[in-house]
Amino acid sequence: MTFDGKVVLVTGASGGIGRAIARRFAAGGARLALHAHARADKAEALAHELPGDEHAVISANLRDPAAVSRMVDETVAQCGRIDVLVNNAGIFSLHPPSAVDYDTWQEQWALTLETNLIGPANASFCAAAVMQRQGGGRIINVTSRGAFRGEPDAPAYGASKAGLNALSQSMALALAPAGILVYAVAPGFVETAMARPHLTGEMAEAIKQQSPLGRVARPEEVAYWVCCCAQDDASFATGAIIDVNGASYLRS
């Protein structure tokens, strides 16, 4: 895949999927703006590892609307434009309704929705304004199979990803006349630090066997489909939600 001259802003670039996405885009010649919040040092290290030069590292708390706006402005200031926004950053925390108190329940819902849904919505709004001035662009949201199958121990996560799918489709309809195309990529379990507690515990084998392939996804497999959405030939798939879950959950 070739992305020569493209500027790609990846949120959550310090995590496993974010790093794989950044590496794949950079290998195709893109210039990366790597977003991080608490782990900016890892994003800095990644910037030095990537092929090409002049990659930017931008720190922002996605829960802060002003910080999201600054993140987009800094990307343009350092890189000149934004051709692709990848809303990859997200959090997952357990809060089963039968095992937490009401205060914890409220805290988890607020934290998860602000990070996983409202932050990407704000980033999409700000990036779309830039893309409109440029004559087009791509927005690619990393969602989850949990949006479809449910997350009984982390209901706010499932709801946030369902909302992100709906946001993707709404924005695809709203922004297509401006030449801005929007996609969602929905993985299941992926070999990342966030999933490691589940993939090394007593349920690890059962989780792998959810897929007939007998394993979970590698970050590079998710990155492949994200980058596919940024290809010119993917234009007519705008609004699509692409399942990358190894047939562990099939929806009609």
- Cβ(93)–Cβ(36) under 8 Å? no
DSSP 52: S
Nearest in space to 147 (alpha carbons), one of 155, 158, 138: 158
Q: Do the Cβ atoms of 217 and 245 come closer than 8 Å?
A: yes
Distance (Å, whole) CA 159 – CA 115: 12
**Per-residue DSSP letter, 117:** I
Q: Roughly how many angstroms between the first and final C-alpha of the chain, as a whole number? A: 30
Tokens of 79: 């890189």
DSSP, collapsed to helix, strand or coil, labels residue 68 as helix
Closest CA to 84 of 43, 141, 45, 37: 141
Q: What is d(CA 127, CA 175) in angstroms, rounded to the nearest whole number?
A: 11
Catalytic residue among 102, 157, 224, 249: 157
Question: Does the active-site annotation cover 157?
Answer: yes
Q: How many separate helices (H) and strands (E) can be counted in the chain?
A: 10, 7
Q: Which residues are tagged catalytic? A: 157
